[in-house]
Structure 1
Amino acid sequence: MTASTFAPIDHPSAWRAADVADSPAWRVRLAPEAAAELAGGAARTDRASLASITASPVDRAAFPAAAAQLAAIEREVMLGRGFVLLNGLDPGLDDGMLKACYWIIANLLGTPLSQNSYGDLLCDVIDTGKKIGEKRVRGYQTNADLKFHTDRADIVGLLCVRKAMRGGSSSISSAVTAYNELLRRRPELLVPLTEGLYYMNVEEGGDSSLKRVPIFDLRDGVLSCRYSRNTMATAMLNGAPFTELEKEALDALDALAADPALRLDMTLERGDIQLINNYTTLHARTAFEDYPDPRLKRCKTRAWMRSLSGRPVGPHFDDYAGVPVTLEREIARRAAV
C-alpha cells in the first residue's frame, strides 16, 4: 500500500470544531412524553444495584415515544455526524432512577454489550485508586487524563451522575477528519496506520497476547477507526517492535485529534448522556480531582451497545461484540485474599 492509494472521505462525520461548536443540532432533548415513559419504566425497575438494573428486561413496545425518538438518534450517531448529547432526564431523579432510565435508553438504542471480563453491561466510571500503567488497569478505573481513543463497541454512551470537584471534562474529535488531514499533510503516515500496529489487551482476565491491527480501515467506501494509544504503549513495554515511522504516525494522529481546530469540548451536567459512534469519533477526558466527601465522587455510568444499523468493517473488529466473560467477582475476591 502506498500514499497514492488513499482518497479523502466526504461524510457528515468528517466535521471540525467550527462546524459544530455553535450548532444546536447535536444537542437533543428528550420529548416530554419520552422522558415520562422512561421515568415510569425506571420506577418499575429493581434499582438496588447496577446488576439488578441490568437484570431487568426492557420491552421496547412499552416505550413507543422514547423508542421512536431514540431510533432517530441512533441513525444520527451511526450514519450521520457520529455523536449526540442527549438531555431531558430530570436531574432531580435519584441516582438509581437516572441509571435505570439510562438502561432503558441503552436497550432502545441497540443491544447492550459486556464491557469487561465480569460481563458488566453498565459500568460506573469512577476513580478506584488504581493507576494507568499498572497491570490490568483500564483508564475508566482511574482519575487520569485519557488521551483520544475509541472503545470496543458500535456505540458508547456516558451518563453524567456527578461531576468532579475539578477537571474531568470531555472532548471528542472526528477520526474521519484526522484521516483527511493526514492525507493532506502527511499521506505517508497513513500507510502504517492502515497496514496495522501492535496492541496488547489490558482487560483483566482477557487474552494478553500481542495483536497487530489497523488504525484506519476502509470497506465499501466506509472509513472506520480503531484506536487506543494506551494499549499500544503497553505493547511497546512488552517488547512489540515499533518503527520510527509508526511512532511518528501515532504522534501525528494524537496531535490532530487534540488540535483545538478539530476537537469539540463539552461539559456534561447531571442527567446528560453523551452518545458516540466508536468508528468515526474519538473521545478523551482530562484528569480530575474528587471532592473529599466520598458521597460526592465523580461518577459517569457507561454503556456499550451494538447498534441497530449495519456497518461494513474488517475482521479485526470481531471483538466489538462485547468483552468475553472469563471472571466471577467472588472468585476474584478469594484470589485477592
Structure 2
Amino acid sequence: MDMPKTPIGGSSAWTVPQVMLRDDWVCRLGESDVAEIDAAVRATRQRGLGIQEIERDDFPLDRLTTRLGALRAQIRSGLGFGYIKGLPVERYDRETLIRIYWGLSRHIGDPITQNRNGHVVGHVIDVGDTEQHHDRRLTQSTAELCFHTDSCDVVGLLCINRARTGGESRIVSGIAVHDELMRRRPDLLPELYKPIYMDRRGEVPAGKQPWFGMPLFSWHRGQFTGYSPIRQYIESMTRFPDAPRMSNAQREALDVYYDICEEERFCLKLHFEPGDMQFLQNHIVFHSRTEYADGPSAEGWPKRHLIRMWLSLPDGRILPPHMAEKWINIEVGTKRGGVPTDRESIIPLDPFTPAYA
C-alpha cells in the first residue's frame, strides 16, 4: 500500500478561512456576459445543432471565454472547484436553459452518461425516492447526503429553484481532510487506503458483482486521488450476505473522517441561488447537501431543482488502476467515467422522466 509519509499540502489543501479571503473561484456574469451567451445560443440554432451536437467551438463566448478558461484551470489544478453566478434563469424556457448550461459546460469538459438510461443531463429533484429504494441513488430524494464524490472528473450543478428550507451545498478539500486525519490519527489513516465496499445501487456493469471495493484515499505516481462514498451505500451492503464487510478499524476511521469533514474550518457552506453553477473536481473536492423540505404546492413554492452534468477532462489526471472497478474506463484523453450503458444518450427535459427504468 503506497501512501505519503507526510501531509500533502499545496494549493488544493484549502480551509474555509483561506477560501473566504479570495474570489478567484467565482465568475460573476454581467449583462454583457449574458448577451454573449444569448448570441452563442442563437448561433447554435441557426446552424441547426441539437444540444448534444454542441462542441466547445460551437459555443463561442468572446471575452467570457478567457474567464471560463481561468475558472477551468482553478477546477483542474487549483482549488478544485469553481462557480458561475448570475445566470438569469427566469428568462429562459427549459430547452434554452439546458442548451446554455451544456454550452458553458463544454468549455470545462466532455459530457458523459450519468445513469443506466443514458441520461447526459440529470435532474436533481425529489421524486419520492427513499433509502429503502436500493436500486436507486438518493439524489432524487430530500435526504441528507454525506460527503461523497461522483463517477466523473468534474460534476456540475445548475440551480433552477432552491428548497424552501435546507438543501445547503457543502464542500471540503479532500487533501486538507486527509492531512488533518494524518495529524490526529495516523494509526487510522492506513485503513482508508484499503478497499471500502459499497452497494452499486442496481447499476451493475456486465460481469461485475452488485457491489464494489474502492479505497477512500489513493496515492498514485506521487499524486492524491480521493473517492468518498455515500455512507448509506456502505450500510446497504448488509443486503448482500456474501459481500465483504468493513473491519472495526475501518469503521472508526470513517467516523473520524466524516467528523473532520463537518468541522467549520474544513466545511465550506454554500447557499445555491437560482442561476448559480457549481463545478467540482471529484478527485480532490468532496461534496454533500443537507436534508431539505419543499413547500406545499398550494403555497406556490416550486420544488428544489438542480440540473446536473458529469464531465470528463481530456487532460485530466492519471488515475490509480483500481478505479477501473467503478469507472470501467480510466484512460486519459478519452471520455472516461460515467455509468456504462448500451442505451443511446438522451437529454430529458422533464425532471420527472424516470432516471432508473
- TM-score with structure 1 setting the length: 0.88
Match of 1:39 in 2: 38
Match of 1:268 in 2: 272
- Is 1:82 equivalent to 2:83 in the alignment? no
Partner of 1:271, secondary structure, is coil
Match of 1:324 in 2: 340
Asked whether the equivalents of residues 2 and 220 of structure 2 are also in contact (C-alpha less than 8 Å), the reply is no
- Is 1:63 equivalent to 2:63 in the alignment? no
Quote the Cα distance in structure 1 between the aligned partners of 2:238 and 2:93: 40
Match of 1:224 in 2: 225
Asked whether the equivalents of residues 53 and 103 of structure 1 are also in contact (C-alpha less than 8 Å), the reply is no
Following TM superposition, by how much is the alpha carbon of 1:17 offset from its aligned partner in structure 2, in angstroms?
1.2
Partner of 1:42, secondary structure, is helix
> Higher helix share goes to which structure?
1
Asked whether the equivalents of residues 204 and 210 of structure 2 are also in contact (C-alpha less than 8 Å), the reply is no
Quote the Cα distance in structure 2 between the aligned partners of 1:109 and 1:59: 9
Structure 1 residues 251-290: aligned runs within 5 Å: 251-290=255-294
Asked whether the equivalents of residues 29 and 88 of structure 1 are also in contact (C-alpha less than 8 Å), the reply is yes
Match of 1:93 in 2: 91
Asked whether the equivalents of residues 44 and 59 of structure 2 are also in contact (C-alpha less than 8 Å), the reply is no
Amino acid at match of 1:106: S
Question: Which segments of 5 or more consecutive residues in structure 1 lack a partner in the other structure?
Answer: 47-51
Q: Structure 1 residues 2, 28: CA separation in 2 closer, same or farther (over 3 Å shift)? A: closer
Quote the Cα distance in structure 2 between the aligned partners of 1:303 and 1:2: 32
Partner of 1:24, secondary structure, is coil
Match of 1:117 in 2: 116
Match of 1:296 in 2: 302
Asked whether the equivalents of residues 6 and 183 of structure 1 are also in contact (C-alpha less than 8 Å), the reply is no
Cα deviation code 1:255-280 (max 9, x no counterpart): 11111121000111111101101011
- Is 1:235 equivalent to 2:251 in the alignment? no
Quote the Cα distance in structure 2 between the aligned partners of 1:190 and 1:53: 48
Partner of 1:187, secondary structure, is coil
Asked whether the equivalents of residues 2 and 191 of structure 1 are also in contact (C-alpha less than 8 Å), the reply is no
Asked whether the equivalents of residues 218 and 313 of structure 1 are also in contact (C-alpha less than 8 Å), the reply is no
Quote the Cα distance in structure 2 between the aligned partners of 1:151 and 1:59: 23
- RMSD of aligned alpha carbons: 2.7
Quote the Cα distance in structure 2 between the aligned partners of 1:59 and 1:150: 25
- Is 1:310 equivalent to 2:316 in the alignment? yes
Amino acid at match of 2:306: K
Deviates more, 1:292-301 or 1:169-178: 292-301
Percentage of matched positions with identical amino acids:
29
Asked whether the equivalents of residues 2 and 188 of structure 1 are also in contact (C-alpha less than 8 Å), the reply is no
Cα deviation code 1:54-94 (max 9, x no counterpart): 43423515414244332221111110001112113224322
Amino acid at match of 1:312: I
Following TM superposition, by how much is the alpha carbon of 1:35 offset from its aligned partner in structure 2, in angstroms?
3.1
Amino acid at match of 1:257: C
Quote the Cα distance in structure 2 between the aligned partners of 1:12 and 1:55: 34
Following TM superposition, by how much is the alpha carbon of 1:200 offset from its aligned partner in structure 2, in angstroms?
2.2
Deviates more, 1:100-109 or 1:298-307: 100-109
Following TM superposition, by how much is the alpha carbon of 1:194 offset from its aligned partner in structure 2, in angstroms?
0.8
Quote the Cα distance in structure 2 between the aligned partners of 1:173 and 1:244: 25
Quote the Cα distance in structure 2 between the aligned partners of 1:158 and 1:254: 23
Following TM superposition, by how much is the alpha carbon of 1:234 offset from its aligned partner in structure 2, in angstroms?
2.2
Partner of 2:266, secondary structure, is coil
Q: Structure 1 residues 248, 71: CA separation in 2 closer, same or farther (over 3 Å shift)? A: same
Q: Structure 1 residues 216, 41: CA separation in 2 closer, same or farther (over 3 Å shift)? A: same
Match of 1:145 in 2: 144
Quote the Cα distance in structure 2 between the aligned partners of 1:59 and 1:241: 45
Following TM superposition, by how much is the alpha carbon of 1:283 offset from its aligned partner in structure 2, in angstroms?
0.4
Asked whether the equivalents of residues 200 and 208 of structure 1 are also in contact (C-alpha less than 8 Å), the reply is no
Question: Which segments of 5 or more consecutive residues in structure 2 lack a partner in the other structure?
Answer: 328-335, 347-352
Count of residues in correspondence between the two structures: 327
Asked whether the equivalents of residues 27 and 85 of structure 1 are also in contact (C-alpha less than 8 Å), the reply is yes
